Amino acid sequence: MSADIIDGKAFAAALRARIAAQTEVFRAAAGRAPGLAVVLVGDDPASAVYVRNKGKATMAAGMAGFEHRLPVDCVQAELLALIDRLNVDPAVDGILVQMPLPRQIDADAVILAIDPAKDVDGFHPDNVGRLAIGMPGFVPCTPQGCLMLLRDRLGDLSGLDAVVIGRSAIVGKPVAQLLTATNCTVTLAHSRTRDLASIVRRADIVVAAVGQPQMVKGAWIKPGATVIDVGINRTEAGIVGDVDFGGAAAVAAAITPVPGGVGPMTIACLLRNTLIAAHIRIGLHIAEGAL
Ligand code: GUN
What residue ranges do the domains of the chain occupy? 30-117, 141-264
Check if 96 has its Cβ closer than 6 Å to any atom of ligand 1. Answer: yes
Q: What is the C-alpha to C-alpha distance for residues 99 and 142, in angstroms, rounded to an integer?
A: 14
Q: Let me know if 115 is a catalytic residue.
A: no
Please confirm whether the linkage preceding 100 is cis (ω < 30° from 0): yes
Q: Closest Cα to atom 9, ligand 1: which residue?
A: 98
Q: Convert the pLDDT of each residue in 33-91 to its tens digit.
A: 999 999 999 989 999 999 999 999 999 999 999 999 999 999 999 999 999 999 999 99
Class of domain 30-117: alpha beta
Check if 98 has its Cβ closer than 6 Å to any atom of ligand 1. Answer: yes
Check if 141 has its Cβ closer than 6 Å to any atom of ligand 1. Answer: yes
Q: Evaluate if residue 106 carries a pLDDT over 90.
A: yes
Q: For helices 141-154 and 8-30, give the axis angle rounded to 10 degrees.
A: 110
Out of 93, 118, 119, 121, which one is annotated catalytic?
A: 121
Alpha-carbon separation of residue 11 from 84, 109, 188 (angstroms): 35, 35, 26
Check if 121 has its Cβ closer than 6 Å to any atom of ligand 1. Answer: yes
Q: How far is the CA of 272 from the centre of ligand 1 (A)?
A: 15
Give the mean pLDDT of 88-109: 97
- Residue (of 172, 239, 254) closest to 210 by Cα position: 172
What pLDDT sits at residue 288? 87
Say whether 100 sits in a helix, a strand or coil.
Answer: coil
* Probe target for ligand 1 pocket from 49, 121, 146, 233, with the most ligand atoms within 8 Å of CB: 121
Q: Evaluate if residue 129 carries a pLDDT over 90.
A: yes
What pLDDT sits at residue 135? 97
Out of 22, 54, 173, 214, which one is annotated catalytic?
A: 54
Q: Closest Cα to atom 2, ligand 1: which residue?
A: 99
E strand or H helix at 95: strand 94-97
Q: Let me know if 54 is a catalytic residue.
A: yes
Class of domain 141-264: alpha beta
Give the mean pLDDT of 101-118: 98
- φ, ψ (nearest 5 deg) of residue 5: -90, 125
Same fold, 30-117 and 141-264: yes
Q: How far is the CA of 41 from the centre of ligand 1 (A)?
A: 12
Q: Let me know if 104 is a catalytic residue.
A: no
Q: Closest Cα to atom 3, ligand 1: which residue?
A: 99
Q: What is the mean pLDDT of the chain?
A: 97
